[in-house]
Amino acid sequence: MLAIAIWGFVEPYILDVEEEEAAITNLPSEMEGKKIAVIGDFQIGLWLDNVWTVEKAVEDVIDMDPAAILITGDYVYHVDNMDDPEIAEVMEVMRPLAESGIPVYSVLGNHDYAMSSQDVEPNTELAEGLATELSSLGIMMLDNKNEILLEGVNTDLYVVGLGSHWAGNDLANKAFEGVPEEAPRMVLMHNPDSFKTLAGGVSPVAVAGHTHGGQIRVPFTETWSYLNLLQSGEVTADGWIKEDYGSAGNSLYVNRGIGMSITPMRINAVPEITVFTLINKD
């Protein structure tokens, strides 16, 4: 038991790269094979937080030189206002990413609204300030917005971002405004629960974070983690989520993130960079 506890403080500093395929409807042939990297859930400000791993993830994704980078939100852990030193630390950590020349797209998470639980009032002033600072670095903030992710010869690939679910700001109708009906797209969100609000067929590939992969997960079990103590029903904390989780024609991948909540430990839930290779969905 002691060995497992000790390992829990080591695992946060191990960085895993998961190679996945993103099968996207109507993807132009010239985009097949391009890479999209995903990171998130930095949680900067938790005691003994693993900023080193965040810095390493930033360095690694820059070295990978993907076509674009998506960030799933939760930059900070417990911040009350924009004067807190963790905000400046976030900006320093993100600066190399923003200056890399690689397009970076992001949404905000519940902690970026200072929401440690769903019954906490969202701090919209903090969230707006954080979004403004990140935008000033060159990170494109997509809370209920969309942008062209990759330009094609005849058809562009869009990325659609949803706002924070806990803050009541995941507004799908607003997020998809202006996206041509047949256009290929990826959807970016923080909380996997936002995925269930999407209409069928609008999201061939969606990416979320929030769960930390369960963070403390019982070895030799497929899905059991501390989240099972907090949520009713089946909990799937990472990877491709079962087909009947959302509406027909949609698929969701949950990234394990890098940071942590409550305690700076991870067990059987290694921090993750996800690298998607784009392919056309038959």
Please give the span between the terminal C-alpha atoms of the chain, in angstroms, as a whole number: 48
Over the range 84-102, which residues count as b (16 or more CB within 10 Å of their CB) and which as e? Answer: bebbebbbebbeebbebeb
3-state secondary structure 50-109: CHHHHHHHHHHHHHHCCCEEEECCCCECCCCCCCCHHHHHHHHHHHHHHCCCCCEEECCC
d(CA 83, CA 228): 36
Q: Taking a C-beta distance cutoff of 8 angstroms, is the pair 90, 71 a contact?
A: no
What integer is the mean pLDDT of 256-279? Answer: 94
Q: Give yes or no for residue 106 having a pLDDT over 50.
A: yes
| CB atoms near residue 21 (< 10 Å) | 11
Confidence of residue 237 (pLDDT cuts 50, 70, 90): confident
Percentage of residues in the chain having pLDDT higher than 70: 93
Taking each continuous run of H as one helix and of E as one strand, the counts in the chain are 6, 12
What integer is the mean pLDDT of 2-18? Answer: 85
What integer is the mean pLDDT of 175-186? Answer: 97
What integer is the mean pLDDT of 30-44? Answer: 98
Q: Give yes or no for residue 50 having a pLDDT over 60.
A: yes
Q: Taking a C-beta distance cutoff of 8 angstroms, is the pair 187, 162 a contact?
A: yes
**For residue 236, what pLDDT is reported?**
60
d(CA 202, CA 226): 32
d(CA 197, CA 174): 13
Q: What is the pLDDT of residues 70-83, one digit of tens each?
A: 999 999 999 999 99
Q: Give yes or no for residue 85 having a pLDDT over 50.
A: yes
d(CA 259, CA 156): 33
Q: CB neighbours of 132 closer than 8 A, spacing ≥ 6? A: none
Q: What is the pLDDT of residues 191-204, one digit of tens each?
A: 999 999 999 999 99
In whole numbers, what is the pLDDT of the chain averaged over residues? 92
What integer is the mean pLDDT of 96-112? Answer: 97
Percentage of residues in the chain having pLDDT higher than 90: 80
- Residue appearing with tokens 């659609």: 160
Q: How are beta strands 252-254 and 206-208 bridged, if at all?
A: parallel
Range of lowest pLDDT (25-34, 162-171, 208-217): 208-217
Q: What is the pLDDT of residues 133-175, one digit of tens each?
A: 999 999 999 999 999 999 999 999 999 999 999 999 999 999 9
Confidence of residue 215 (pLDDT cuts 50, 70, 90): confident
Nearest 10 degrees: Cα torsion 64, 266, 94, 237: 70
What angle separates helix 85-98 from helix 124-137, to the nearest 10 degrees?
A: 30
- In Å, how far from its chain's centre is CA 268? 19
Confidence of residue 122 (pLDDT cuts 50, 70, 90): very high
Beta bridge partners of 68: 36
d(CA 34, CA 52): 28
Confidence of residue 225 (pLDDT cuts 50, 70, 90): very low
